[in-house]
């Protein structure tokens, strides 16, 4: 239960004078909905009531600023307790101005220190008031900043569906760095990009010339941000007098169309599987092939606006099992893969490739996703694969070939995209497919990233 006193203290904690805080429409409604009359004068709850008619649902927040934001604050000995509090103060002001609400931005907080700590997740609080109280409660941890470690942890652990990430809404980390990071943040930047997280760096008190010798990598900002185009970095000269930097930062964080890193290999690819149903495979190995397909498919964010999966089984003949647009949830895609029935017959891989390019990729050719074809076969193709594979490459489809048992290496190389070493795989046993699934996922993400540059 909120009291006058705690509200007052949280406003004071923010360094806002009461009139300044009350000027904010969000606060007027917070105060008035709670039945508070803090000040006589021009701002009364009646006035706020009129305002409320224009914006009927305050709980909804700022609908024009849809973002899921993690503030990654610096909790190192380097920043110290005093500036740590100024940092919390600044983050509180940013959070307040964002317009947090059920349909507006959601925020959480992670503290970088020797070991990163997620202080609260996106779903813990969906009102500005609650977020402010939570920020105020965060205790200083100390140690090295280990910002790279903390950023990686945030990209991997903070943005899960369980912790409140919303579909189709940009994921953002705002990293506060006092001085310079104590560890390498380049790799963390790559991981964050792979996870579709837009990294912003707010650097405060840049190293002075005398300190530059101690900085591991002076280009650290450009290496960690989503894109080094200037949009994703922001500099504040010192922790004192930061109020004027609140609004420009909020404006950046609310610029949806600039969030380029939200497109990822997990949500922006079409993957078609070409599955060998020839007699030599056998029922139990055929099941292992389906498991391989599932293991890859389940990693991707399948939806009508996200990743799409299709599968074709082939012998001499081709059977489209499901197309890219048939199923738009992961559950349905995994279920249909489980239910694929083994055909049994010959092996005409060339025809199967041509069929898939024409009938499976054809209808979605102009879509925004990057196209991949994953071919699994256990033997020599009866027909020539070279021309059909070349046509697939020419159509912008990146081809992975996976051979098992008797599949000839030459065929695998002919089918795979360049560079062949990273797109053609071979295993003697069907059980070897499990490891290859991981390689394919990594490869798809690598190809995707390269195509974005
Ligand atoms: C946030 O939510 C999680 C899971 O629901 C819970 O375990 C955690 O204690 C909450 N944290 C705070 C600060 O309320």
Q: Name which of 18-22, 163-167, 172-176, 194-198 the model is least confident about.
A: 18-22
Query: What average pLDDT is seen over the chain?
Result: 86
Looking at the predicted structure, is the pLDDT value of residue 264 above 80? no
If asked whether residues 241 and 351 sit together in one domain, one would say no
- The domain of 7 spans 1-50
Looking at the predicted structure, is the pLDDT value of residue 219 above 90? no
The finding on whether 163 has its CB within 6 A of some atom of ligand 1 is no
Q: What are phi and psi of 372, to 5 degrees?
A: -130, 145
Mean pLDDT of 314-342: 97
Which one of 258, 278, 311 terminates a domain? 258
Q: Which two tokens stand for residue 260?
A: 């380029």
pLDDT value, residue 256 = 76
In a domain, 333, yes or no: yes
Q: Which two tokens stand for residue 319?
A: 């059977």
pLDDT value, residue 412 = 97
If asked whether residues 79 and 28 sit together in one domain, one would say no
The finding on whether 121 has its CB within 6 A of some atom of ligand 1 is yes
Give the tens place of pLDDT for each residue, 162-179.
Answer: 889 887 688 999 999 998
Looking at the predicted structure, is the pLDDT value of residue 35 above 50? no
pLDDT value, residue 21 = 39
Residues 115, 48: contact at Cβ < 8 Å?
A: no
pLDDT value, residue 424 = 98
Tell me, in angstroms, the distance from the centre of ligand 1 to residue 119's CA: 9
If asked whether residues 202 and 341 sit together in one domain, one would say no
Mean pLDDT of 334-363: 97
For residue 352, CA distances in Å to 158, 297, 345, 415 come to 42, 20, 13, 12
CA dihedral for 140, 145, 146, 152, sign (positive or negative): positive
Give the Cα separation of 193 and 43 in Å (integer). 45
Q: Which DSSP symbol is given to 379?
A: S
Give the Cα separation of 390 and 399 in Å (integer). 10
If asked whether residues 20 and 156 sit together in one domain, one would say no
pLDDT value, residue 193 = 86
Give the Cα separation of 277 and 382 in Å (integer). 14
pLDDT value, residue 212 = 82
If asked whether residues 151 and 242 sit together in one domain, one would say yes
Tell me, in angstroms, the distance from the centre of ligand 1 to residue 118's CA: 10
If asked whether residues 297 and 439 sit together in one domain, one would say yes
Instruction: Grade residue 149 by pLDDT with cuts at 50, 70 and 90.
Output: very high
In a domain, 264, yes or no: no
Looking at the predicted structure, is the pLDDT value of residue 6 above 50? no
pLDDT value, residue 174 = 98
Mean pLDDT of 15-40: 36
If asked whether residues 425 and 303 sit together in one domain, one would say yes
> Ligand 1 pocket check: which of 123, 124, 134, 165 to mutate, most ligand atoms within 8 Å of Cβ?
124
Residue 119 CA: which ligand 1 atom is closest? 13
In a domain, 56, yes or no: no
In a domain, 344, yes or no: yes
Q: Give nearest CA residue, ligand 1 atom 5.
A: 124
If asked whether residues 234 and 149 sit together in one domain, one would say yes
Q: Which of 135, 143, 154, 139 is nearest to 113 (CA)?
A: 143
Q: Prior bond to 296 cis, omega within 30?
A: no
Mean pLDDT of 337-343: 97
pLDDT value, residue 384 = 96
Residue 125 CA: which ligand 1 atom is closest? 14
In a domain, 24, yes or no: yes
Looking at the predicted structure, is the pLDDT value of residue 317 above 60? yes
Q: Which DSSP symbol is given to 417?
A: P
CATH number at residue 305: 3.40.50.410
Q: Name which of 147-151, 215-219, 311-315, 357-361 the model is least confident about.
A: 215-219
If asked whether residues 322 and 402 sit together in one domain, one would say yes
Give the Cα separation of 107 and 16 in Å (integer). 21
**Residue written as tokens 């989503």?**
226
In a domain, 263, yes or no: no
If asked whether residues 441 and 321 sit together in one domain, one would say yes
pLDDT value, residue 50 = 40
In a domain, 420, yes or no: yes
Q: Give nearest CA residue, ligand 1 atom 11.
A: 120
Tell me, in angstroms, the distance from the centre of ligand 1 to residue 106's CA: 15
Tell me, in angstroms, the distance from the centre of ligand 1 to residue 163's CA: 9
Q: Name which of 21-35, 69-83, 224-238, 316-330 the model is least confident about.
A: 21-35
If asked whether residues 123 and 232 sit together in one domain, one would say yes
Higher pLDDT, 208 or 402: 402
| Number of domains comprising the chain | 3
Instruction: Grade residue 8 by pLDDT with cuts at 50, 70 and 90.
Output: very low
Tell me, in angstroms, the distance from the centre of ligand 1 to residue 61's CA: 21
Residue 121 CA: which ligand 1 atom is closest? 1
Q: Which of 95, 105, 7, 123 is nearest to 60 (CA)?
A: 105
Q: Give nearest CA residue, ligand 1 atom 10.
A: 124
List, as one string, the DSSP characters of 298-333: TTS-BSTTSBEEEEEEESSSEEEEE-TTT--SHHHH
163: exposed, middle or buried (Cβ count in 10 Å: 0-12, 13-18, 19+): middle
Q: Which DSSP symbol is given to 43?
A: -
pLDDT value, residue 94 = 97
Mean pLDDT of 44-50: 38
Tell me, in angstroms, the distance from the centre of ligand 1 to residue 124's CA: 6
The finding on whether 120 has its CB within 6 A of some atom of ligand 1 is yes
Q: Is 419 helix (H, G, I), strand (E, B) or coil?
A: coil
> Ligand 1 pocket check: which of 109, 110, 111, 120 to mutate, most ligand atoms within 8 Å of Cβ?
120
In a domain, 55, yes or no: no
If asked whether residues 17 and 154 sit together in one domain, one would say no
> Ligand 1 pocket check: which of 107, 110, 121 to mutate, most ligand atoms within 8 Å of Cβ?
121
Mean pLDDT of 366-378: 92
Higher pLDDT, 47 or 314: 314
Which one of 258, 283, 300 terminates a domain? 258
Instruction: Grade residue 453 by pLDDT with cuts at 50, 70 and 90.
Output: low
Give the tens place of pLDDT for each residue, 430-444.
Answer: 999 999 999 999 999
Q: Which of 391, 438, 392, 386 is nearest to 413 (CA)?
A: 386
């Amino acid at each position: 239960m909120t009291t006058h006193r705690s509200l007052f203290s949280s406003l004071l904690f923010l360094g806002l004078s009461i009139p300044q805080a009350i000027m904010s429409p969000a606060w007027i409604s917070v105060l008035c909905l709670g039945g508070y009359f803090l000040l006589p004068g021009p701002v009364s709850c009646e006035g706020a009531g009129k305002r409320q008619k224009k914006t009927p649902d305050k709980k909804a927040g700022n609908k024009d600023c849809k973002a899921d934001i993690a503030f990654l604050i610096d909790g190192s000995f380097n920043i110290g307790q005093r500036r740590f509090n100024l940092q919390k103060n600044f983050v509180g002001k940013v959070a307040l101005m964002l317009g947090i609400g059920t349909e507006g931005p959601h925020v959480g907080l992670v503290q970088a220190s020797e070991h990163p700590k997620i202080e609260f997740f996106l779903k813990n609080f969906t009102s500005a008031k609650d977020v402010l109280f939570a920020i105020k409660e965060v205790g200083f941890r100390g140690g090295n900043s280990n910002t790279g470690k903390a950023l990686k942890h945030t990209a991997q652990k903070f943005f899960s569906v369980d912790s409140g990430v919303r579909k189709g809404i940009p994921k953002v980390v705002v990293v506060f760095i006092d001085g310079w990071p104590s560890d390498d943040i380049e790799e963390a930047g790559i991981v964050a990009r792979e996870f579709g997280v837009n990294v912003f760096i707010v650097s405060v008190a840049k190293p002075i010339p005398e300190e530059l010798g101690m900085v591991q990598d002076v280009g650290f900002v450009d290496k960690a941000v989503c894109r080094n185009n200037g949009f994703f970095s922001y500099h504040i000269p010192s922790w004192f007098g930061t109020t004027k930097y609140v609004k420009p930062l909020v404006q950046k964080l609310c610029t949806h169309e600039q969030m380029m890193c939200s497109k990822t290999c997990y949500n922006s690819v079409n993957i078609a599987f070409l599955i060998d149903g020839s007699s030599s495979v056998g029922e139990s190995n055929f099941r292992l092939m389906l498991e391989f397909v599932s293991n890859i498919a389940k990693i991707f964010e399948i939806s009508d606006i996200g990743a799409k999966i299709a599968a074709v089984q082939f012998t001499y003949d081709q059977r489209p099992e499901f197309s890219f647009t048939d199923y738009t949830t992961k559950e349905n895609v995994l279920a249909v893969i489980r239910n694929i029935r083994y055909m049994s017959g010959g092996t005409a891989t060339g025809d199967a490739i041509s069929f898939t390019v024409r009938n499976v990729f054809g209808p979605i050719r102009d879509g925004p996703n990057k196209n991949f074809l994953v071919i699994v076969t256990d033997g020599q193709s009866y027909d020539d694969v070279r021309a059909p594979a070349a046509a697939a490459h020419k159509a912008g489809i990146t081809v992975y070939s996976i051979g098992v048992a008797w599949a000839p290496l030459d065929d695998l190389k002919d089918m795979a995209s360049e560079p062949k070493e990273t797109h053609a795989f071979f295993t003697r046993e069907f059980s070897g497919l499990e490891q290859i699934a991981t390689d394919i996922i990594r490869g798809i993400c690598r190809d995707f990233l390269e195509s974005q540059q």
